[in-house]
């Protein structure tokens, strides 16, 4: 069975020696909330909270983003007010997501990761 978001979050937290209480305080949520997320009784954290948790735990947020999206069946993309270009690009990606080829997806991945091969 594939790893779940909560399992990965718990593994990161315990590997770093962080308590649920410390992580909860850092994220501004309750300990029962963290416990429920780790046991997959609640949906994965929001994008902002994933980013904050990964930073707190000294980890790359990308694997957590991928696990959260896989469980939700959807990606969360935060639009920035006053940034119409980002909003337009995000909306275009959402509209055309299902039609992108594997080559297109790999090119996009190289671009967002800053890989020179994709530029």
> What is the 8-class DSSP label of residue 74?
S
Does the predicted model carry a pTM greater than 0.85? no
77-110 pLDDT tens trace: 777 788 888 888 888 888 888 899 999 999 998 9
40: left (phi over 0), alpha (psi -120 to 50) or beta: left
**For the chain, which residues make up each domain, given as ranges?**
5-72, 84-118
What is the tens place of the pLDDT at every residue in 48-87? 999 999 999 999 999 999 999 999 888 777 777 888 888 8
Please state which CATH number belongs to domain 5-72. Answer: 1.10.260.40
- What CA–CA distances, in Å, run from 9 to 1, 50, 60? 17, 9, 12
């Amino acid at each position: 069975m594939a790893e779940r978001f909560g399992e990965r979050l718990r593994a990161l937290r315990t590997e770093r020696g962080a308590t649920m209480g410390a992580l909860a305080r850092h994220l501004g949520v309750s300990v029962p909330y963290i416990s429920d997320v780790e046991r997959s009784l609640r949906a994965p954290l929001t994008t902002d909270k994933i980013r904050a948790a990964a930073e707190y735990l000294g980890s790359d947020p990308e694997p957590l983003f991928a696990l959260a999206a896989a469980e939700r069946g959807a990606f969360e993309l935060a639009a920035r007010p006053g940034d119409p270009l980002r909003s337009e690009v995000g909306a275009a990606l959402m509209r055309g997501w299902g039609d992108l080829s594997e080559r297109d997806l790999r090119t996009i991945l190289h671009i967002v990761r800053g890989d020179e091969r994709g530029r």
